[in-house]
Chains A and B, each alone.
Chain A
């Protein structure tokens, strides 16, 4: 059984390893899709610092609801890469028995209770999870990951407004990755920061460099501390960039090349690797060993997924009703 291991105050090298795991996992998923092994999926390549930084600030009591780019959130929370990869392949050994694929994967045992693929669909449910936590005096907070695209949905307004008027312990994390499927954020809104919208509901907000994992972790720790102390919601915007396309495969022909190369130079993983080696926290040999460990783990996950059985046919009708 997967558990939420010591993710509180995870060290910077552990954070790097988790970011590498997410990157390698998602690139492998895309590769397996291209090779015809699995159906398509949406990746969060370029956004790993956001997932790892925020989730490093949570603890076992907290619950997570997320969206179609959820592999990073799941792995950062400690999900077993084998079972996530198996779910993406629609296999019986996946966390949802092959019923969800990448689109709806949830892992209740580690507190990731929903992936919704309706853009913004997770937002109002997170408000309800926050209300439940408050009513049941469960201490934890509800954390919901959504994108700048979801913020343009009407449900964003209702969800944040309700959490504001009812003082609910919800951490709204907007991963502003600049892209809404195939449309650039600048074509859909007049502002640059979703935190500006959040502030209008009378809740506390912050924007942080979403490509700097330590900055994200620090901002998330502050936000979480505020929520635990006051019971009130907080909107944290992680300003980042989706380096791959909307959905695999994607040639990104619609992406401005100059912008893409500018953000590639700010890749959260290469920046952190460079810093840790320069600062003497990691040697080049240790970094190479870390990458090799991660590569093996992901290869094993791919093998596990490919060799796992499909669900038995009686699963077709199982679970529609209790």
Chain B
């Protein structure tokens, strides 16, 4: 174990896999000479050279399509998006091609490509640079969608993504890049997809979350335990697709109350899917309607005071917890 930041854990995952497998490479805007807008690729060009750390023009569709074409021949490209917002410029290459080629080729062609980058709200980056895309990508069969909420998971899940045969959208929480945590050093350490994690044990209500909102939920859980004796159980989904709901069901059968905490907008967001799944499976177990804590339903404003209103904060989670406990 080493203490490592979320940012360094992502880099370590990529470098370990590039050391292990010569077919792994990375491409993107400003990742080589400039070493990445968020310094994720620091030192990589120097170590692996320009053939495996490829600076591209500002051409997201062309670059993602190129990566998909490379994957067709068995290479394993990682595409770094300067922010995941820009990946929608390459939506045709991701959704119409990467997600579908194995299926419509009758299994002849795999697309082992990872598209990763900072995701979610930052600080005053305004409407085009602050979006969350979990439900957008997780809607599509053929894609895997991963959203790590800790440095160890960032490393272990990214290694699984790189080693797999499926296209993966790897959504990094920009706000967690500096977060530190214990990360296994073993180069064989991976975190499998589709295994949600019990992040905190509790008895009074279940919070379901992932990514940055997981960390917010854990802070609220500690606070409510200390101040009000409310013990929240917190489930970290880690992957939106494949989605492992079993630990959520197990928890709800204990607490009978659930709250989904997401940064994404409320309509048609992940919370709607999670809430519907809980209702389908354990309607009789619920003592309160499933609550959703979400971002405000507006394009992200720029002014700091408005931006703070648009994203979920501790008080929003606390209010939702009290609502499902009827302690308002």
Select which of A98, A104, A106, A124 is within 8 A of B62 by beta carbon: A124
CB <8 Å contact, B65 and A128: yes
Contact (Cβ within 8 A) A125 B106:
no
Q: How far is the CB of A140 from chain B (nearest CB, A)?
A: 10
CA of A94 to CA of B134, assembled, Å: 36
In the complex, A82 has a CB within 8 A of chain B:
no
Cβ contact of B65, chosen from A106, A123, A320, cutoff 8 A:
A123
Q: Does B64 contact A (CB under 8 A)?
A: yes
B70 close to A128 (CB less than 8 A): yes
Q: Is the CB of A133 within 8 A of B73?
A: yes
Question: Among A100, A121, A165, A319, which residue has the most Cβ atoms of chain B within 10 A?
Answer: A319
Question: Interface-forming stretch among A108-116, A179-187, A287-295?
Answer: A108-116
A320 touches B103 (CB 8 A): yes
Return A315 CB to nearest CB of chain B, in Å: 9
Determine if B73 and A322 form an interchain contact, defined as CB atoms under 8 angstroms apart.
no
Cβ of A104 and Cβ of B75 under 8 Å apart? no
Given A95-B106, A106-B105, A113-B109, are A124 and B73 neighbors across the interface (CB < 8 Å)?
no
Nearest CB of chain B from residue A145's CB, rounded to whole Å: 15
Complex interface: stretch among A9-17, A70-78, A156-164, A254-262: A156-164
| Cα-based distance from A138 to B165 in the complex (angstroms) | 22
Residues of A within 8 A of B74 (CB): 132
Interface check B108, CB cutoff 8 A = yes
Contacts of A123 in B (CB 8 A): 65
Docked CA distance A84–B62 (Å): 30
Residues of chain A contacted by B104 (CB below 8 angstroms): 96, 99-100, 103-104
Residue A39 CB within 8 A of the other chain: no
Is A320's CB under 8 angstroms from B62's CB? no
Q: Using a CB-CB cutoff of 8 Å, which residues 75-95 of chain B contact chain A?
A: 75, 77, 92-93
For residue B195, give the distance in angstroms from its CB to the closest CB of chain A: 15
- Nearest-neighbour CB distance to chain A for B75, whole angstroms, equals 5
- Main SS of the interface on chain A? mixed
B69 touches A116 (CB 8 A): no
Stretch of B5-13, B53-61, B152-160 on the interface side: B53-61
Contacts of B25 in A (CB 8 A): 135
Mask: chain B, 122-163; 1 = CB below 8 Å from A; 0 = not: 000000000000000000011010000000000000000000
Q: Which of A125, A130, A158, A320 contacts B68 (CB 8 A)?
A: A125
- Pick the contact of A128: B72, B92, B109, B242 (CB < 8 A): B72
B213 to chain A, nearest CB (A): 26
Considering residues B56, B67, B73, B242, which has the most beta carbons from chain A within 10 angstroms of its beta carbon? B73
Q: Closest chain A residue to B90 by CB distance? A: A124
- 8 Å CB contact of B165 from A97, A126, A322: A322
Contact B103 A159 (CB under 8 A): no
A318 at the B interface (CB under 8 A): yes
Tell which of A65, A100, A121, A142 touches B92, judged by Cβ atoms closer than 8 Å: A121
Distance in angstroms between the alpha carbons of A165 and B58 in the assembled complex: 13
Whether A155 touches B62, Cβ cut-off 8 Å, given contacts A125-B97, A128-B67, A165-B57, is: yes
**B36-65 to A contact mask, C-beta < 8 Å, 1/0:** 000000000000000100001101011111
B106 adjacent to A124 (CB under 8 Å) = no
- Chain B residues closer than 8 Å to A124, beta-carbon distance: 61-62, 64-66, 68-69, 93
Indicate if B166 sits at the interface (CB-CB under 8 A): yes
Any chain A CB within 8 A of the CB of B107? yes
User: Once bound together, how far apart are the Cα atoms of A132 and B56, in whole Å?
Assistant: 15
| Total number of B residues with any Cβ neighbor in A under 8 Å | 43
Contact A129 B96, beta carbon cutoff 8 Å: no
The reply to whether B105 and A159 form a contact with Cβ atoms under 8 Å apart is no
- CB-nearest residue of chain A to B144: A321
Establish whether residues A96 and B69, one from each chain, have CB atoms under 8 Å apart when the complex forms.
no
Assembled-state Cα–Cα distance A103/B100 (Å): 12
Distance in Å from the Cβ of B7 to the closest Cβ of chain A? 28
B105 adjacent to A129 (CB under 8 Å): no
Q: How far is the CA of A137 from the CA of B100 in the complex (A)?
A: 28
**Complexed CA–CA distance, A127 and B100 (Å):** 19
* Cβ-based interface call for A136 (8 A): yes
Contacts of B142 in A (CB 8 A): 320-321
Contact of B110 with A by CB under 8 A? yes
CA distance A128 to B101 in the complex (A): 15
Which residues of A have CB within 8 Å of B100? 104
Query: Which of B65, B106, B242 meets A96, CB within 8 Å?
Result: B106
- Chain B residue contacts of A142, Cβ below 8 A: 69
With both beta carbons as reference points, the residue of chain A lying nearest to B64 in the complex is identified as A124
Structural contact, B65 and A135, CB atoms closer than 8 A = no
Which of chain A's residues 69-94 have a Cβ closer than 8 Å to chain B?
A: 94
**Which residue from chain B places its CB closest to the CB of A126 in the assembled complex?**
B69
Given contact pairs A114-B72, A135-B51, A161 touches B103 in the complex (Cβ within 8 A): no
- Closest A residue to B52 by CB, please name it: A135
Q: Is A36 an interface residue (CB 8 A)?
A: no
Report the separation of the CA atoms of residues A95 and B107 in the bound assembly, to the nearest whole angstrom: 10
A123 to B69 CA separation, bound complex (whole angstroms) = 9
Is A118 close to B, CB under 8 A? yes
Which residues of chain B have C-beta atoms less than 8 A from A280's C-beta? none
User: Do A129 and B61 touch across chains, with their CB atoms under 8 A apart?
Assistant: no
Please list 13 pairs of residues, one from A and one from B, whose beta carbons are closer than 8 Å in the complex, sorted by A's number.
A96-B106, A99-B106, A104-B104, A106-B105, A116-B97, A124-B69, A128-B66, A128-B69, A131-B66, A155-B65, A158-B62, A162-B66, A322-B102
In the complex, the 6 A-B pairs of residues with the closest C-beta atoms, listed nearest first: A128-B69, A124-B65, A158-B62, A322-B165, A96-B106, A125-B69
